[in-house]
A and B are shown apart, each in its own frame.
Chain A
Amino acid sequence: MKNALKKNFFPIALILPSVILIGTLTIFPIFYNVYLSFYQKHAFLNVQKFVLFSNYTSLLSDAEFWDSFKNGIIYSLSTIFLQIALGLSCALLLNEKFKGRNFFRGALLFPYLIPTIVVVILWKWLLNSSYGLIRYLMEVLHITSEPIVWFSEENIMLTLILVSVWQFFPFVLVTILARLQTIPEELYNAAKVDGASAFSRFIHITLPQLKNVLLTIILLRSIWMFTKFDTVWLLAGSESIGKYIQTLPVYTFRKTFIYLEAGAGAALSVVMLAILLSGTIIYIRAFMNKEDALK
C-alpha cells in the first residue's frame, strides 16, 4: 500500500485538486439536493420539517408539474429538430471551399456567444409589435398585413422556440462542421468516379460519417434544452404569459425562489435529473455503442 502510494504520488497529487473540486462543487450539491428534497424547507428561514417522500408524491397530482413537463418536451423536441436542420445545412454549406469561408464561420457562431439577456432583449426589440424591425420586414415583404403579437398567449411558445433556435444552432453548426472537415476527400472522389450524384454522395458517405456526431449532438442538445432556464425565464417566465411556456427548470426556480419552498424545488431538480439520466441511458443503449458514447 505504501509502495503504491509512493509510486503513484505524482499522478495522485496532480488529480487531487480536480477530485476535490468536482467532489465539493458538483457531487456534494447533488447529494445535498436529494437530502433537501425529503424536507419541507423554507428558502430563507431556517425552518424545516422532515417529510420523506411527500414532496415527490404531491408532484404526481400537481397539474402545474405535468404542464411544465409537457411544455419542456414540446420545447426540447421542436428546438432540437430546428437546430439540427439549420445547423446541418449551414455546416454542409460552409464545408465547401469558397472565399471568405472563415469569416462566415466565425460570424455564424455569434448568436451562441452573446449573453442570454442580450439575446432576449434584442429579440424583444426586434419583435416589438409597434416598433420592431420584424414587423416592418413582414409588411414590406407582404407576408402579413396585421402586425403579429409575438408575445401573446398563442404565439409565445413559437416565439420562444424561434429565439432559442437562433441562439443555439451555431453550436450544432460548429460541431458538425468540425467533423465534416475530417472526412477524407478520397471517399468523395472515388464516389464521383463511380458516377454518384451529389445527393447520393450525401446519403451514402456524409451521413454515415456524421452518424456518431449527430447522435451525440442530439443527446446533448436534448439534455440542455430540456434543462434550459435562462432563455425561457428571461423571455417571459416571470410574466403572466409565462405559464404557457413554463418548463420544469422554470417551475423549479419559481417554486424555490418565489414560493420559497426549497424542499419542493429540490425534489423537482431530482426528478429532472432522474428523467435526464434514464433518458440518456435508454438513448445510449438504443442508438450508440459504448465506445462511441465515451468519445
Chain B
Amino acid sequence: MKKMVLISLIVGVSIVFFILAMLPLGWMLITSLKGSKEILQYPPSFVPSNITIENYLNLFKESNFAVYLKNSLFVATCVVIITNTISTLGAYSLCRFNYSGKQIITVTSLLGYMIAPMMIVIPFYMVMRFFEVANTHIALILAHTAFCFPFALWLMKSYLADIPLELEKAAKVDGANQWQTLIYVVLPLCTPGITAVSIFTFILSWNDYVFARILITSDVLKTIPIGIEDIYNGTVVDWGMLMAAGIVVTLPVLAGFIVINKVLMKGWGYSGLKA
C-alpha cells in the first residue's frame, strides 16, 4: 500500500516535470499549425480550429530556410567527421601509450573543454579576417572544431579506457602490427564512443550562434540559428513561421535522440552503468 502511494507520487511529480519541459515544445507545435489570425487570438486556443501547414510552406517559400538547413547540416557533418577521426586516433594514443608530454596534453584538453567559446571568439575573428576567409564555411568548421574537439578527445579517451587490453594483446599474438590492431580490433569496438562523440559534436555545431553570427555575412552561407534570428528581426514578427522553423529544427534532434537514448546515457556515465 505504502509502495503504491510512493510510486503514484513519483509518477505524478515526474509528469509535472515532464509537462514543464515539454509544454513549451508542445505549444510550439500547436502554434505552428495555426493560421496567422488564430495565433493572435486571446485567450489562445489549445486545439487549432483549422490545422494548416501554411506556416511551414511560407517558411520555405518566403525565406532561405532550406539553404540555412543545408548549411548547418554541411558544417555540422564536417565538424563531426574531423573531430571523430582525429580524436579517436589521439585518444588511443593517450590511452595505451606512455610518453613525455602525455599528461600536459590531457590536462590541456580538459582546460580547453572548460574554456567557453567566448575566450577564443575575438582572436578567431581577427585571424580569419586577416586571411580573408572569414565569410566561409571553412572558417566556421574550424571554429566549431576548436570548441568541440577538446571534449571529444576527453570522451573518446574514457571510452577507449573501457576496452579490455586482452583483445589487443591477442591480436599482437596473432601477428598483427600496431596499425592493424588499431584498425581491425579497436576501431570496431569504438562504436558507442564514436556515436556519443558524434552526437555531442553535431549538437554543439548545429546550435552554435556566436561564431556563425560573427563570421558569416552572406545570406546564402548562414546557418540555422542566424537564419532564424534574422527572420525574427525582419519587418514584422511572424510567430507562426518562427514556430514552424523551431519544429523543423527540433523534431529531427528529438527523434534521433530518443532512438539513441541508451547509448547516450552510457556515454554520460561511462563509469560502469547499469541501465
Contact = CB atoms under 8 A, between A and B. Distances in A.
Contact of A234 (B39, B117, B118, B229): B229
A86 B243 CA distance: 27
Contacts of B61: none
Interface stretch (A60-68, A76-84, A202-210, A269-277): A269-277
B268 A175 contact: yes
Given A22-B109, A262-B122, A104 B273 contact: no
Interface in A211-227: 220, 223-224, 227
Nearest to B144: A25
Contacts of A242: none
B228 A121 contact: yes
A84 to B, nearest CB: 15
Interface in B1-45: 7, 10-11, 13-14, 17-18, 20-22, 24-25, 27-28, 31, 39-44
B211 to A, nearest CB: 11
Given A33-B119, A110-B25, A93 B89 contact: no
Contacts of A227: 116, 118-119
Contacts of A269: 118-119, 121-122
Contacts of A11: 93, 96-97, 99
Interface stretch (B49-57, B168-176, B187-195, B257-265): B257-265
Interface string A15-39: 1011101100111111011001000
Contact of B119 (A113, A256, A273): A273
Nearest to A220: B114
A161 interface: no
A131 interface: yes
Contacts of A228: 116
Given A121-B246, A256-B122, A26 B7 contact: no
The range of chain B's interface size is 35 or more
B73 to A, nearest CB: 13
A126 B243 CA distance: 11
Main secondary structure of the interface of B (DSSP, over half): helix
Contact of B17 (A21, A90, A174, A295): A90
B216 to A, nearest CB: 13
A14 B121 CA distance: 28
- Select the residue from B7, B21, B232 with max chain A CB neighbours within 10 A: B21
Interface string B111-153: 0101111111111111101000000000000100111011001
B57 to A, nearest CB: 19
Given A166-B24, A273-B119, A116 B207 contact: yes
Given A110-B21, A118-B250, A133-B27, A36 B123 contact: yes
A252 B214 CA distance: 13
Nearest to B226: A117
29 contacts: A10-B97, A10-B179, A12-B99, A14-B92, A17-B86, A18-B90, A22-B150, A26-B120, A30-B119, A44-B129, A86-B17, A106-B261, A107-B22, A110-B21, A113-B203, A114-B207, A114-B249, A115-B225, A122-B27, A125-B31, A133-B44, A166-B20, A166-B24, A177-B265, A181-B275, A220-B114, A223-B114, A229-B118, A266-B123
